[in-house]
Amino acid sequence: MTDDILTHSSDKQGILTGSCLLMDQEPEILSLRPEQFADYVGQTEVVEALKIAIEAAIQREEPVDHILFHGPPGLGKTTLAHIIANEMGGNLTSTSGPSLEKGGDLIGILTHLEDRDILFIDEIHRTPKIVEEFLYPAMEDFAVDFVFDKGIHARSHKYRLNRFTLVGATTRVGLLSAPLRDRFGIFRSLDFYNESDLAKIIRRSAALLKVTVDDEGANELSSRSRGTPRIVNRLLKRVRDYSQVRADGIITKKTVEAALVLEGVDEKGLTDLDRKYLKTIIEFYKGGPVGIEAIAATLQEETDTLVDVIEPYLLKVGLVTRTSSGRKASEAAYKHLGFSFQKRMFQ
């Protein structure tokens, strides 16, 4: 029976091997994330500033300044951290603010970093305060302080760290404490992509996925992707599946439209949750203004989900406005959803 098991495992090429199998190199497994600035599309000013900072740091043979990226999800903050590590010739260690529950978690990571390594902390604004305080000396002096024993027997020991670069990413920069924010030497905001840049990303991703997309198909898909590369790549895969099963395998405007109807994505890129959000303001609260907590309670969604995921794009395209007394649906939102818009004299 043992021989049968070994023979069966051999037929399947083994579950664990020391080499890269052909199946590991298939397009579905390979990442669509660019690995160098030459392949990165969009965020021109941010990329140019990073290139200058990295080249200068390499010439001085020192790590680049600590970097903070902020902006809505899916715009390339994690991708830029990977590219920075590749350009600096260091290793990337990734973690997130909520996963660093105690100081020991962070210290264990910091003490294993080598010179010019990159530590990437996603959602850094959610780092617990007690952990954040360990970051201050680590970022400024490349050292952490250990305290042994308690009371009158307490002793402090300073442990020297290798010179690393911290790359932080946040969707809520206002929630960062001032002491932490001020310790970043490079502070960059990422904005939504225009449709021409998204079309370039589509063509690059389509080539990696070995799927054909025509110009009209790329333009239609880019217009429905909320200005976000992560979304455009996700929708591209769904359209690829549809064109493979229901069409001739070529992504056209017609296949994009048909595939995204099934995904619930309309011509402006709004999802079912986006439309429910707008309809709640219009139908339940007469167009607003209404507080975000009331909207979240009506939709039975988390407030953070609405603020971080739903609202940035709706604000960007002018479908909703944010006032001191709450959120209001714009005239464009009424028209997009097919509601008649009447201005109220007292709003």
Catalytically annotated residues = 77-78, 122, 171, 230
Q: Residue 292 in contact with residue 307, Cβ under 8 Å?
A: yes
Cα distances (angstroms) measured from residue 50 to each of 28, 56, 83, 92 = 30, 10, 10, 17
| Cα–Cα distance measured from residue 84 to residue 89, given in angstroms and rounded to the nearest whole number | 8
Contacts of 13 (CB under 8 A, 6+ apart): 21, 23
Q: CA nearest 83: which of 149, 129, 38?
A: 38
Question: Phi and psi of 300, rounded to 5°?
Answer: 55, 45
Question: To which residue do tokens 């239609």 refer?
Answer: 220
| Cα–Cα distance measured from residue 311 to residue 274, given in angstroms and rounded to the nearest whole number | 8
Contacts of 285 (CB under 8 A, 6+ apart): 294, 295
The secondary structure of the chain in percent helix, strand, coil, rounded to multiples of 5, reads 50, 15, 35
**CA angle, 143 as apex, 138 and 147 as ends, to 5°?**
105
**CA angle, 200 as apex, 198 and 205 as ends, to 5°?**
95
Query: Exposed/middle/buried for 320, CB within 10 Å: 0-12, 13-18, 19+?
Result: buried
| Cα–Cα distance measured from residue 320 to residue 334, given in angstroms and rounded to the nearest whole number | 10
